[in-house]
Structures are given as structure tokens and as C-alpha cells.
Amino acid sequence: ISPNPALDRIIIEGLDISIDIQLVSSDGKVVVKQYNPSHGLDVSSLSNGVYLIKYNREGKTYSAQFIKQ
């Protein structure tokens, strides 16, 4: 995920297939859902804090954290 921390947009590198992405806030709420974020995800409207990115690929769930500034 870059950049991390992020101000307005994040890029998830290495995704070569179409998938559903979820951004989850620190209190467990899904705040963004997007399909096939090939041009990145707009995070400009999110409050500052730590978020979890979750997606499923080939039957496995993956996650990573990023910081919104």
C-alpha cells in the first residue's frame, strides 16, 4: 500500500485481478467498499486514523493497515 501514511489516495500494489476491497475503521465499521480499484482508492473523505484494508483472493482473506493523515 502506498503511500502510507496517505492524504487522499492509496494504491494497492500487486493486484492483477478484479477483486472487492473493503476499508475498515478502527472500530470495525466498513467505511468504503470498492470493486476493482485499479486506479487506487480515494481516502480523502476519511477521518484521520488507522484503517484496515481487507480483500479475498482465491478463497483466502488478506489484510493490511494504513494510516490516513
| pLDDT confidence bin for 9, thresholds 50/70/90 | very high
- What is the DSSP-derived secondary structure letter of residue 6? B
pLDDT tens digits, residue range 15-48?
666 788 899 999 999 999 988 777 788 999 999 9
Residues paired with 57 in a beta bridge:
60
pLDDT for position 27: 95
- What is the separation of C-alpha 34 from the centre of its chain, rounded to a whole number of angstroms? 9
**Closest residue by Cα to residue 18 from 55, 60, 47:** 55
* Residue 29 in grid coordinates: 465499521
* Residue 26 in grid coordinates: 478502527
pLDDT tens digits, residue range 48-60?
999 999 988 888 8
- What is the separation of C-alpha 4 from the centre of its chain, rounded to a whole number of angstroms? 11
pLDDT for position 16: 65
